[in-house]
């Protein structure tokens, strides 16, 4: 998957996405602006699902690619209605 370069100025778009929690086989509808960083999506998901990011590592996947924390959502060319998978890894 090709990742776009970060843009100085980006025309923000509001997106309705589906987050598919693979561990619990649960789908959650979420509305986001596409200029959000991937880490902030993980944080939002964790907060809404009472997940402690110290004990659990979250990985977001789209199109066979793990989304990197420092990148913005728009860099992955994710569009309205797309599904992002979330994997939870328990840290021992």
Residue 56 maps to which CATH number?
Answer: 3.10.20.90
Residue 8 has pLDDT above 90, yes or no: no
pTM for this predicted structure? 0.90
Q: Is residue 59 part of a domain?
A: yes
Contact 15, 33 (CB under 8 A): yes
Contact 73, 15 (CB under 8 A): yes
Q: Which of 34, 15, 26 is nearest to 82 (CA)?
A: 15
Q: Is residue 76 part of a domain?
A: yes
Q: Is residue 20 part of a domain?
A: yes
Beta bridge partners, 85, equal: 20, 61
Q: What is the mean pLDDT of the chain?
A: 93
Residue 9 has pLDDT above 90, yes or no: no
Contact residues for 31 (Cβ-Cβ < 8 A; gap 6+): 14, 15, 16, 17
Q: Is residue 3 part of a domain?
A: no
- Structural domains of the chain, count: 1
The pLDDT, as a whole number, for residue 87 is 96
**pLDDT band (50, 70, 90) for residue 43:** very high
Residue 21 belongs to what domain range? 14-90
**pLDDT band (50, 70, 90) for residue 91:** confident
Q: Is residue 5 part of a domain?
A: no
**What is the percentage of the chain residues whose pLDDT exceeds 90?**
84
């Amino acid at each position: 998957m090709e990742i776009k370069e970060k843009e100085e100025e980006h025309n923000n778009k509001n997106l309705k996405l589906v987050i598919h929690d693979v561990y619990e086989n649960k789908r959650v509808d979420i509305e986001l602006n596409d200029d959000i960083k991937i880490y902030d999506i993980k944080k939002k998901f964790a907060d809404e699902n009472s997940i402690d990011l110290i004990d659990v590592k979250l990985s977001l996947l789209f199109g066979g690619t793990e989304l990197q924390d420092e990148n913005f959502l728009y860099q992955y060319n994710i569009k309205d209605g797309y599904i992002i998978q979330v994997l939870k890894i328990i840290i021992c």
